[in-house]
Chain A
Amino acid sequence: MPLRTEKTYSKVAYLGILGALTIVLSIMENAIMPALPFMPPGAKPGLSNIVVMFAASTLGLQETLLIVVFKSLFVLITRGGSAFLMSISGGLLSSLTALILIRMDMKNISLIGISVAAAVVHNIGQLLMSALLTHTLMLLDYLPLLMIFGVVSGVITGVIVSLVIPAVSQVQTHKYFGGVYGEKSK
């Protein structure tokens, strides 16, 4: 039995596309909105979370974490070590939250609620890391504004993901992808 099958190559290509997408969204975020006026510096709409949420819903734990780490490594290369730490802390916490919530499969919560929770956790995680890096609790003053912002960006991200997933699953019959891996039918 061959070690690498056609499915493996398809998986690598698919994840590569998702990873590239995450990075492009991340670049876009940073280019368009370097700093919102009244928000803490570094608050981002979280567009790259669209891909993370997508992976968490249609793929599995490993793929999602891979995308998060991939994005954070890109941040490491382009924006430095402290940005990397903030990205990975927020990203890991939020993706784990999303994965757990999706796994729990609660009837009253849709992808939008999960996305909101993930976005808020992402912001909180980043804020905590920045407090750790600067050795003060001063930046925590931004917590309420960040949470509100997290709700807004979570809703936007959630709506987009909810629209993207049905659209993508129509493409899954393409032989090149051999079906979306481990897709949980929602």
Chain B
Amino acid sequence: MKKLIKTGDMILIVFILAISLGLLLIRLPARADTRNVYAEILVDGEVAYEIDLSRLSEERIIRLGSCTICAGHEGVEFIESDCPDQICVQSGQLSRPGDMAACVPNKTMIRIVGSEEMDAVTY
């Protein structure tokens, strides 16, 4: 089998992997306990909702334009959207800090924030 890979390729690959690993280490989210996590829902770059999941006693349904989001004690998820790709809905349930889902056509995003990442809750 003819040799397809050359040295420059390997150097490039290692370089890219090194950069990405570096980025990963810098941004390693604190896998804190799930007691004080809350979900941030952003629309068009601005925080529209902050929901403390541990304080929810029942499920809360939020309709933001054309996206429907369901927030419960276990996590948050998109349950319905009018976008053609449905990537947001297929992202499933978000529950740990760092989890996120986005619906780009509707500019809506959900992110789970751990208690160690923010100093104060203002909502």
Q: Given A41-B101, A138-B111, A144-B21, are A162 and B44 neighbors across the interface (CB < 8 Å)?
A: no
A-B contact count (CB 8 A): 121
> A80, B87: Cβ atoms under 8 Å?
no
Is A92 close to B, CB under 8 A? no
Query: Which of B7, B8, B44, B87 meets A41, CB within 8 Å?
Result: B87
A82 contacts which chain B residues (CB < 8 A)?
104-105
Q: Which residues of A from 114 to 142 have beta carbons under 8 Å from B? A: 116-117, 120, 130, 133-136, 138-139, 141
Q: How large is the interface on B (under 10, 10 to 19, 20 to 34, 35 or more residues)?
A: 35 or more
> A143, B107: Cβ atoms under 8 Å?
no
Residue in chain B with minimal CB distance to A155: B13
A107 to B8, CA, bound (A): 8
Q: Given A134-B104, A135-B44, are A116 and B24 neighbors across the interface (CB < 8 Å)?
A: no
Q: How large is the interface on A (under 10, 10 to 19, 20 to 34, 35 or more residues)?
A: 35 or more
> A35, B91: Cβ atoms under 8 Å?
yes
> B5, A110: Cβ atoms under 8 Å?
yes
A106 to B11, CA, bound (A): 13
Task: Label chain B's interface by main secondary structure.
Answer: mixed
> A144, B24: Cβ atoms under 8 Å?
yes
> B85, A159: Cβ atoms under 8 Å?
no
B83 contacts which chain A residues (CB < 8 A)?
80
A residues with a Cβ closer than 8 A to B are: 34-35, 41-42, 78-83, 86, 106-113, 116-117, 120, 130, 133-136, 138-139, 141, 143-145, 147-148, 150-151, 155, 158-159, 162
